[in-house]
Amino acid sequence: AHAAAATAPVTPGALKDGTAVPLLANLGKPGDAAAAVALGAEGVGLFRTEFLFLSADEAPTVSAQRAEYEPLLASFPGQKVVVRMLDAGADKPLSFLNDADEENPALGLRGLRALRAHESILRDQLTALAEADAATRERGEGADLWVMAPMVATVEETRYFTALAREHGIRTAGVMIEIPAAALLADRVLAVTDFASIGTNDLTQYTMAADRVLGSVAGYQDPWHPAVLRLVQSVGAAGRAADKPVGICGEAAADPLLALVLVGLGATTLSMAPAALADVRALLRDHTLDDAGRVAEAALAADDAASARAAARAAASS
């Protein structure tokens, strides 16, 4: 029996007017899938593959990766599972991908840049995912696998990754939007790939030029900042114009009121730590899409994060 069958089904994420907002889980290991399903995750919006290999000295083999990806996919039969390619560098170094000694690793050879410099590792990961997808489908327990690249800055990188994923037989490929350059060119980025997923953690770090792990500048790391919200708004508008999905997978989606704002800005799905699902689901159910748009407008019109939060709170309760 499937793990979800043991618990009462949780209603899918939706607004008061019935607009569906699928609520997905951020996961770092397949073993956490059952708990996420029990909390009502409708799939996975961000599987952080680098967490599997943080202590590895060498790049993982295709078969070692398949052993992780197959149980992950089988935990979400028929549902969306967005797997992120190894996001190595800065706060998450992998010894087999980050070989350079860099003074500013957050601005260095990280994410897709590092994978491209070690293309066989990227190819092995895509091979392992395609094989895991095929094997689980053959057993009748396949998921709807989407893959995405981290730390994408340019349209050219988007084109490169999407083509490479397709070459490996992956059906749905997209990119994370977590660098302001990619957010500003979201319409061009979305023209050459299938979907975008906004990483609000890094998008905030790079928009505010404040290291996300440095306590002395922690005050800047607030996704309520209207500068961040404006970037999300432009990505949301590009997604609507291109009729392509724009998810959110940064921690911002775990703040219920901010989740409503993000939907108002055009996010089509929200992915978060499973523990946050219930509160986000409850708040969304109390508001319509029109409400979300109004609340987002109020936040966008603010000068700073604190006033954006206060304005959104006032708009949401009026």
CB of 223 or CB of 256, closer to ligand PEP: 223
- Tell me the closest approach of the beta carbon of residue 204 to ligand PEP, in angstroms: 8
Residue 254 binds ligand PEP (CB under 6 A): no
Q: Given the structure tokens 């037989």, which residue do they identify?
A: 169
Amino acid, res. 1? A
Does residue number 32 form part of the binding site for ligand PEP (CB under 6 A)?
A: no
**Does 200 help bind ligand PEP (rule: CB under 6 A)?**
yes
What sections of the chain are H helices per DSSP?
33-38, 62-74, 112-117, 119-138, 155-167, 180-184, 186-191, 200-208, 226-242, 256-264, 277-285, 289-300, 305-316
Nearest to ligand PEP of 154, 201 (CB atom): 201
Residue 270 backbone dihedrals phi, psi, to 5 degrees: -130, 135
Q: Does 13 bind ligand PEP (CB under 6 A)?
A: no
Question: Is the Cβ–Cβ distance between 312 and 295 less than 8 Å?
Answer: yes
Burial class (CB in 10 A: 0-12, 13-18, 19+), 107: exposed
CA distance 72 to 143: 9
Q: Given the complex with Mg ion, which of 142 and 150 has the nearer CB atom?
A: 150
Q: Exposed, middle or buried by CB within 10 Å (0-12, 13-18, 19+), for 135? A: middle
* Residue 45's binding partner out of Mg ion, ligand PEP, none, with CB under 5 to 8 Å set by partner kind: none
Q: Does position 37 bind ligand PEP by CB under 6 A? A: no
Q: Which does 250 bind (CB under 5 to 8 A by kind): ligand PEP, Mg ion, none?
A: ligand PEP
Report DSSP state, residue 266.
Answer: T
- 221 phi, psi to nearest 5 deg: -85, 65
Is 236 a residue that touches ligand PEP (CB under 6 A)? no
Work out whether 202 is an interface residue with ligand PEP (CB under 6 A): yes
The angle, 0 to 180 degrees and rounded to 10, between the axes of the packed helices 200-208 and 226-242 is 130
222: partner contacted, choices ligand PEP, Mg ion, none (Cβ within 5-8 A by kind) = none
Q: Count residues binding ligand PEP (CB under 6 A).
A: 10
| Residue 162 binding target from Mg ion, ligand PEP, none, CB below 5 to 8 Å by type | none
48 touches, from Mg ion, ligand PEP, none (C-beta below 5 to 8 Å by class):
ligand PEP
Backbone φ and ψ of 123, nearest 5°:
-65, -40
| Site membership for ligand PEP, residue 46 (CB under 6 A) | yes
| Minimum gap (Å) between residue 176 Cβ and ligand PEP | 7
Sign of CA dihedral 50, 53, 59, 61: negative
- The C-alpha atoms of residue 278 and residue 284 are separated, in whole angstroms, by 10
Work out which of 79, 95, 127, 201 binds ligand PEP, going by CB under 6 A.
201
How would you class 180 by CB atoms within 10 Å of its CB: exposed for 0-12, middle for 13-18, buried for 19 or more? middle
98 is a site residue for ligand PEP (CB under 6 A): no
The answer to whether 29 contacts ligand PEP (rule: CB under 6 A) is no
- Identify which of residues 142 and 150 has a Cβ nearer to ligand PEP in the complex: 150
- CA–CA dist 278, 271 (Å, integer): 12
Q: Which is nearer to ligand PEP, 157 or 202 (CB)?
A: 202
Site string for ligand PEP, 153-192 (x = CB under 6 A): -------------------------x--------------
Element (H or E) spanning 61, and its range? none
- Site residues (vs ligand PEP, CB under 6 A): 46, 48, 87, 178, 199-202, 249-250
